[in-house]
Amino acid sequence: MSEQSVTVKEITSRKDLEKFVKFPFSLYKNSPYWVPPIIKEEVDNFDPEKNPAYQEADAWFYMAYKQGKPVGRIAVIVNWPEVKEMNKPKIRFGWFEAVNDAEVTSRLFQKVAEKGAELGLKYIEGPAGFTNMDKAGMLLEGFDRPGSMSTYYNPAYYNELLEKEGFTKEIDWKEYEIDVPKGIPDKVAKFSGLIMKKFGFKLLRFKSNKELLPQADRIFDLMNKTYSSLQSFTPIKPYQIAHYKEKFLKFIHPDYISLIEDKNGDLVAFSVVMPSFTEALQKANGKLFPFGFYHLMKAMKTNDKATLLLIGVHPDYTGKGVTAIIFKEVIELFNRKGIKVVETNPELETNNQIQALWKDYDPRLIKKWRTYRKELS
């Protein structure tokens, strides 16, 4: 074997998983656009003892080496409910990172294909994580803009490498940027009041995370109902909710969550917004201590940019104007907090219903992601 050849090693120990997580830190060392994860949280995410997704998923991790140096990595994942209950015989790949070398990419995806064939699966799809709460999609447009806490950033050559490997488009995702109106538009204010009165809705607001925490089960339950018809959506199971409470709620101030109940006390809509943590995570550079936590707390309190993370409306109330109430709440919040620009979370290109929500706010398409597919022979 020549010294130029690529070797691939399966990662099993926590020590090697830390190397797996830290690999992109060197790859993007000089990039102003990449947003690093918190290293410990990323390693914990790959630990079966700490991530409940492993109750219904399996994962394998690989790193590629050339001349003794790490040059690529990939995670291979099977979400068994997706395979067995949704009849989608696919193997996922995620956390793909590599230098611009076709041989490295080929060797990594050889491992994905081998595992898929071994398990009797029919095709490869990704990038994706264990569940829909993980990041998904490969950046296709918007390489000159910073990433975010909830999305991937990657160089343009990744798409070229995958296409050389025979991958084709599965579906695209879009992200928009919107300038926050100064004050509530008359149409929104009027319509919001009419809908509140017509259905007898009640707005719920929270002063602390302690108050908010008991609502998490209802939010996830409604999220399952809202997104169940979307492609590749796998329901969030009750045992996973506790994990996501711990993982995400510490990054969300209760001011940024709005819930709407009907007259019977049932949850009919929610919105979850986050201030942008992009700059804070870049300054933290993978570590919460000694200063990373400070940067995150500062970003939560003082920020002029935010992300519309999730909006959910019960199917029984779709198209009945409930989003006017949400928009009124969100715009008022942004004006109080000094938020001037908001980015939507990535949304499926086929999700015309959600994209129609932005049409009155002059949205700017700023990024696209793509998930890829390849048949297994």
CATH number of residue 107's parent domain = 3.40.630.30
Q: In this predicted structure, what is the pLDDT of residue 115?
A: 98
Q: How far is CA 152 from CA 86, 140, 179, 371, in A?
A: 26, 11, 23, 12
Regarding whether 186 and 171 lie in a shared domain, the answer is: no
Q: Could you give the percent of the chain with pLDDT greater than 70?
A: 97
Question: Is residue 283 in some structural domain?
Answer: yes
Q: Average pLDDT over the chain, rounded to whole?
A: 92
Cα 105 from Cα 99, distance rounded (Å): 8
158, 175, 192 - which closes a domain:
175
Regarding whether 112 and 205 lie in a shared domain, the answer is: no
Question: CA angle, corner 34, sides to 64 and 28, nearest 5?
Answer: 45
Structural domains of the chain, count: 2
Per residue in 28-84, pLDDT tens?
A: 999 999 999 999 999 999 999 999 999 999 999 999 999 999 999 999 999 999 999
Regarding whether 19 and 167 lie in a shared domain, the answer is: yes
Regarding whether 225 and 154 lie in a shared domain, the answer is: no
Regarding whether 114 and 57 lie in a shared domain, the answer is: yes
Question: Is residue 133 in some structural domain?
Answer: yes
Regarding whether 68 and 10 lie in a shared domain, the answer is: yes
27: DSSP letter: H
AA identity, residue 176: Y
Regarding whether 205 and 123 lie in a shared domain, the answer is: no
Q: In this predicted structure, what is the pLDDT of residue 1?
A: 40
Q: In this predicted structure, what is the pLDDT of residue 232?
A: 62
Question: CA angle, corner 209, sides to 204 and 210, nearest 5?
Answer: 95
Q: In this predicted structure, what is the pLDDT of residue 369?
A: 96
Regarding whether 164 and 213 lie in a shared domain, the answer is: no
**Domain that residue 222 falls in:** 181-339
AA identity, residue 324: A
Cα 116 from Cα 78, distance rounded (Å): 9
Regarding whether 164 and 215 lie in a shared domain, the answer is: no
Cα 182 from Cα 205, distance rounded (Å): 22
End-to-end CA distance of the chain: 28
Residue from 147, 46, 164 nearest 102 by CA: 164
Regarding whether 187 and 153 lie in a shared domain, the answer is: no
pLDDT tens string for the chain (377 positions)? 444 699 999 999 999 999 999 999 999 999 999 999 999 999 999 999 999 999 999 999 999 999 999 999 999 999 999 999 889 999 999 999 999 999 999 999 999 999 999 999 999 999 999 988 889 999 999 999 999 888 989 999 999 999 999 999 999 999 999 999 999 999 999 999 999 999 999 999 888 888 888 888 898 899 888 877 666 677 778 777 777 777 776 667 889 999 999 999 999 999 989 999 999 999 999 999 889 989 999 998 899 999 988 888 999 998 899 999 999 999 999 999 999 999 998 988 988 878 888 888 999 999 999 999 999 97
Question: Is residue 365 in some structural domain?
Answer: no
Regarding whether 280 and 218 lie in a shared domain, the answer is: yes
Regarding whether 162 and 78 lie in a shared domain, the answer is: yes
Question: Is residue 376 in some structural domain?
Answer: no
**CB distance 117 to 269 below 8 Å:** no
Sign of CA dihedral 52, 216, 232, 133: negative
